[in-house]
Every structure is written in C-alpha cells, then in structure tokens.
C-alpha cells in the first residue's frame, strides 16, 4: 500500500515538475512575443513618421515652383505699380 502511495506521490511530483517547466517555457515565450509586438509597433510608428515626412517634402517640392512664380509675379506687379506711380508724378510735374 505504501508503495502505491509513494508511486502516486512520485507521479504527482513529476507531473507538477513538468507543469512548472511548461509554465516557465510559456512565460518566456509570452515575454518574447510581447517584445516582438512592441518592436513591431515602434517600427510601424517610425515608418509612419517617415512617410509623413516624405509626403510633406513632396508637397513642399510640388508647391515650390508655384511659390517662386507667385513671387516673380508679385515683384513684377510691384515694379509696374512703382513705374506707373513715377510716370504719374512725372506727368504732374510736366503739367505744372
């Protein structure tokens, strides 16, 4: 009888030891998976930031020629207004 109990106890201890090892392995795997998920999240955020920067740069480059043209037009308009004003003053001086 005692032998049967000793055998049963030994089997339970072995099963418990195997369960402890399995729990340890599962915890380690869980830790690795969480670390991988975190790394993937950080990589995704980095890629999204890079994409935003690239899009902003493309937009800036696309609008730059239009901005330069607008500046040239504004400069030409200002110069024409100044010339017209100067001509008007000159005409007034001639008529006096």
Give the predicted TM-score (pTM) of the model.
0.52
Predicted confidence at residue 14, as pLDDT, reads 79
Residues 30-46: tens digit of each pLDDT: 999 999 999 999 999 99
> By mean pLDDT, which of 4-8, 49-53, 83-87 is the weakest?
4-8
Q: Which residue did the predictor score with more confidence, 9 or 37?
A: 37
C-alpha distance from residue 69 to each of 36, 74, 75, 79, 89 (Å):
50, 9, 10, 15, 30
Length of the chain in terms of residues written: 96
CA distance 10 to 14: 6
Mean pLDDT of the chain: 89
């Amino acid at each position: 009888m005692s032998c049967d109990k000793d055998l049963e106890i030994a089997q339970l201890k072995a099963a418990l030891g195997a369960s402890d090892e399995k729990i340890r392995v599962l915890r380690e795997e869980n830790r690795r998976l969480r670390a991988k998920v975190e790394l993937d999240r950080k990589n995704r955020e980095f890629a999204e930031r890079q994409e935003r920067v690239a899009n902003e740069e493309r937009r800036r480059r696309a609008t730059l020629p239009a901005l330069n043209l607008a500046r040239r037009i504004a400069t030409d308009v200002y110069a024409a207004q100044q010339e017209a004003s100067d001509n008007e003053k000159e005409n007034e001086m001639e008529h006096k």
